[in-house]
């Protein structure tokens, strides 16, 4: 059996009672931290919370799936993932592979940034369009699909949730804003100019999350606190959304 166990957003205290119970009943535990990071905890703290050793897998090992699936054929295995299980397409593929190999699976849900970001920002969740990710630009590789997702959502007056890249370091809101302005100079569709209103979030899921709203030109040098960060580019604001951002985000 393979049990996908959501870890939540910040630290080991995000684990639900069910998550702890399921993890403790597993013969082996695996985890991945390439889709996101729980910056408020460590693997050692998670191991203490569930009273079991955890083997952290690389992205290649998860995408290959053979290590997890081989173990799941022999006994009950838990796969710990940041946020909510199956949000990542890699995890969906792993469950499909398990099904095809006759391995029973279960899901233990937890909080996802998909729901937490709209909630803490005060923006109505049903007004969000297609989300996208902003990668670090690199030589010979600088995709701009997120810009066109923004353009599409803006045409429909929808909000856009933008995930920020995770490499050796975690991208900050400040870096993401610089990238957006740089892309704007090349594309010129007036999607993200200096006067565009954005919402920057830091350390969502902790007891002291950061919420700052305002124009890009005013926020590009602001401190958004500890990473991970996430960025929202609002579409047309309802008066209640605008009031919330004024009261809690300094708009």
| Average pLDDT of the residues in 21-30 | 98
My answer on whether omega of the bond before 226 falls inside 30° of 0, hence cis, is no
What band does 168 get if pLDDT is binned at 50, 70 and 90? confident
Q: Per residue in 132-150, pLDDT tens?
A: 999 998 866 778 999 999 9
Q: Which pLDDT score, from 0 to 100, does residue 140 have?
A: 67
Three-state secondary-structure class, residue 133: strand
The answer on pLDDT for 7 being more than 80 is: yes
- To the nearest whole percent, how much of the chain has pLDDT over 90? 94
Q: Which pLDDT score, from 0 to 100, does residue 216 have?
A: 97
CA dist 49 and 41 (Å) reads 11
Fold of 113-249: 3.30.950
Fold of 2-108: Cobalt-precorrin-4 Transmethylase; domain 1 (3.40.1010)
What is residue 127's DSSP assignment?
Answer: G
Residue among 249, 168, 180, 170 nearest 220 (CA): 180
Residue 20 to residues 14, 29, 47, 188, Cα–Cα distance (Å)? 10, 12, 10, 50
Q: Per residue in 202-213, pLDDT tens?
A: 999 999 999 999
Residue with tokens 């709203």: 213
Strand order, beta sheet including 132-134 = 132-134, 160-164, 229-233, 197-202, 210-215
Alpha helices in 75-213 (DSSP H): 89-100, 113-121, 145-155, 173-187
Q: Per residue in 49-106, pLDDT tens?
A: 999 999 999 999 999 999 999 999 999 999 999 999 999 899 999 999 999 999 999 9
Q: Which pLDDT score, from 0 to 100, does residue 137 have?
A: 87
Q: Which two tokens stand for residue 33?
A: 């931290």
Q: Which pLDDT score, from 0 to 100, does residue 138 have?
A: 81
Q: Where are the domains of the chain?
A: 2-108, 113-249
CA dist 183 and 143 (Å) reads 10
| Average pLDDT of the residues in 158-181 | 95
């Amino acid at each position: 059996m393979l049990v996908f166990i959501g870890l939540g957003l910040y630290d080991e205290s995000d684990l639900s009672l069910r998550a702890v119970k399921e993890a403790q009943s597993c013969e082996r535990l695996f985890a991945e931290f390439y889709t996101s990071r729980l910056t408020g905890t460590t693997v050692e703290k998670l191991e203490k919370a569930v009273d079991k050793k955890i083997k952290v897998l690389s992205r290649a090992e998860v995408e290959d799936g053979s290590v997890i699936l081989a173990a799941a054929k022999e006994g009950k295995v838990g796969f710990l993932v940041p946020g909510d299980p199956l949000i990542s397409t890699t995890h969906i593929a792993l469950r499909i592979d398990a099904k095809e190999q006759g391995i029973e699976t279960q899901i233990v849900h937890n909080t996802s940034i998909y729901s937490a970001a709209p909630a803490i920002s005060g923006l109505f969740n049903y007004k969000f369009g297609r989300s996208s990710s902003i990668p670090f630009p690199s030589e010979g590789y600088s995709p701009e699909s997120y810009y066109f997702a923004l353009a599409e959502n803006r045409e429909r007056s929808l909000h856009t949730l933008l995930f920020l890249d995770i490499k050796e370091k975690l991208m900050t809101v400040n870096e993401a804003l610089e990238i957006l302005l740089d892309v704007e100079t090349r594309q010129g569709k007036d999607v993200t100019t200096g006067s565009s209103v954005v919402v920057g979030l830091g350390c969502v899921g902790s007891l002291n999350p950061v919420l700052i709203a305002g124009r890009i030109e005013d926020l590009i040098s602001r401190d958004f606190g500890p990473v991970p960060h996430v960025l929202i580019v609002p579409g047309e604001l309802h008066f209640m959304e605008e009031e919330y951002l004024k009261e809690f985000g300094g708009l």
